[in-house]
């Protein structure tokens, strides 16, 4: 069993600028954000947004099984001037709350399938994911497997927020205003 399969956390990448809204309302799906009229800085590719709309996935919040996936790298290169953070939740919470799993990038699945948490964990090709070879297209797609939540997630449910440096740490600490038990971890290797 590899390190990713045994991991305890799930990772959601977002712009630091979205944190104020998340602190106030919790992490919401795109559908719930739109219904509430809340603004957020979107980083998703229009093609995947269209796919999510067509497959009723807008009601879910996507997480990945590790930080610094191919998606994360593309987004951070596209928005090089912006700061990003990872909101991390325990996999035990995902299992308890019946998160769903897509075992590789949704656009690469033919046909598209979503699984229960336990079934999805069994279907993911963990050995290939562990290689993290982004030059191999199949490995790249498996590395973007998703764990999906259909509930809003209050800020105090997150285990930690991963940040790239001390400067972002201070900003996040101020935005949290001491009203949460969420740990802030400086993990520069997740942002390379």
- pLDDT tens digit string along 29-55? 999 998 988 888 777 777 778 888 888
> Domain map of the chain by residue range?
3-191
User: What's this model's pTM, rounded to 2 decimal places?
Assistant: 0.94
- Average model confidence (pLDDT) for the chain? 93
Q: List the 100-102 sheet strands across, edge first.
A: 61-63, 146-149, 100-102, 115-116
Give me the percent of the chain exceeding a pLDDT of 70.
98
Stretch 7-25: mean pLDDT, rounded? 95
Distance from chain centroid for Cα 97: 16
pLDDT digits (tens, 9 = 90+) for 94-104: 999 999 999 99
CB 23, CB 176: distance < 8 Å? yes
């Amino acid at each position: 069993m590899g390190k990713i399969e045994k991991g305890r956390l799930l990772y959601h990448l977002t712009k630091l600028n979205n944190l104020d809204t998340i602190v106030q309302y919790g992490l919401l799906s795109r559908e719930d954000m739109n219904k509430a009229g809340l603004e957020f800085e979107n980083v998703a590719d229009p093609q995947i947004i269209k796919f999510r709309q067509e497959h009723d996935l807008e009601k879910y919040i996507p997480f990945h099984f590790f930080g610094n996936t191919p998606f994360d790298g593309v987004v951070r290169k596209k928005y090089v001037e912006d700061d990003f953070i990872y909101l991390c939740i325990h996999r035990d919470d995902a299992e308890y709350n019946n998160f769903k799993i897509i075992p590789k990038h949704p656009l690469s699945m033919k046909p598209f399938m979503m699984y229960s948490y336990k079934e999805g964990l069994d279907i993911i090709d963990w050995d290939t994911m562990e290689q993290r070879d982004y030059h191999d297209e199949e490995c790249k797609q498996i590395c973007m497997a998703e764990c999906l939540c259909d509930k809003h997630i209050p800020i105090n449910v997150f285990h930690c927020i991963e940040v790239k440096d001390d400067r972002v740490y201070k900003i996040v600490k101020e935005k949290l205003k001491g009203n949460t038990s969420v740990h802030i971890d400086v993990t520069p290797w997740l942002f390379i």
